[in-house]
Amino acid sequence: MNELDGYYARRAPEYEKIYDRPERQADLERLEALVVAAAGGHDVLEMACGTGWWTERMARSARTITAFDRVPEVLERARARGCPPGKVRFRGGDAFRMEEIGGSYSLVVAAFLWSHIPRREIAVFLDGIARRFPEGIRVFFVDNRFVEENSTPLSRRDAYGNTWQRRRLADGSEFEIVKNFPTPEELSAVTRAQLTGVSIRLLDYYWILEGETMLREAEPAPEA
């Protein structure tokens, strides 16, 4: 288990407290409406579903949902939410091993996953989705914006441009985790090779990116 997985395993019992912050309620209402609308009528594949907070909400409008995560402790809580079993299925899975996820889908959703992916691995992440769905698939990504005096302070920036935060949990354990906050310009640039029809929306505390994957043709080898 890596540092990030260990953090979320320990954080599982308190994870959803983040949604109780009063200053974020208006944004969360807007975000919830956008997520529910985006999932409407789709067969959704939700990556890194965590405790199933967003799964439960998408289940109001989605046709079906397969939600996966690689941390058993959060999946246990997700399964306990009581989502309709005929519509929602939870399973283990890794966002970087998309070839292991079976089924047919029309929308991929990732809520608060992007920020934990090292910058130099974003292209690999997007390529994995595109190669799993070579015909193209809609994507809907949601994550945090950095808000001064509200977001957890950054502890450092590494040589690759990743920013880190030090998190302390209720049990006293401490973790330092990657937490990146890309600008809209960065999001547009980094997705140019793998996504088309990209739109980016900014709320006060969150960003939303929608688009569709496209599988790039391999470049021909140079002639001898």
Strands 154-157 and 163-168: antiparallel
Determine, yes or no, domain membership for 182. Answer: yes
* Tens-level pLDDT at each residue, the chain (224 residues): 688 989 999 999 999 999 999 999 999 999 999 999 999 999 999 999 999 999 999 999 999 999 999 999 999 999 999 999 999 999 999 999 999 999 999 999 999 999 999 999 999 999 999 999 999 999 999 999 999 999 999 999 999 999 999 999 999 999 999 999 999 999 999 999 999 999 999 999 999 999 999 866 544 445 54
Domain span at 181: 21-48+56-64+95-213
The total domain count for the chain is 1
Determine, yes or no, domain membership for 207. Answer: yes
Determine, yes or no, domain membership for 186. Answer: yes
Determine, yes or no, domain membership for 120. Answer: yes
**pTM of the model as a whole:** 0.93
Determine, yes or no, domain membership for 13. Answer: no
| CATH label of the domain that carries residue 99 | 3.40.50.150
Q: What is the dihedral of CA 130, 135, 140, 144, to 10 degrees?
A: 10
Beta strands in the chain (DSSP E): 43-47, 64-69, 88-92, 107-111, 138-144, 154-157, 163-168, 174-178, 195-202, 206-213
Determine, yes or no, domain membership for 88. Answer: no
Determine, yes or no, domain membership for 11. Answer: no
Which one-letter amino acid corresponds to residue 148?
E
User: pLDDT tens-digit profile of 160-177?
Assistant: 999 999 999 999 999 999
| First-last CA distance in the chain | 46
Residue 145 has what DSSP assignment? Answer: P
**Who's near 177: CB < 8 A, 6+ residues apart?**
3, 4, 7, 116, 164, 165, 167
Determine, yes or no, domain membership for 70. Answer: no
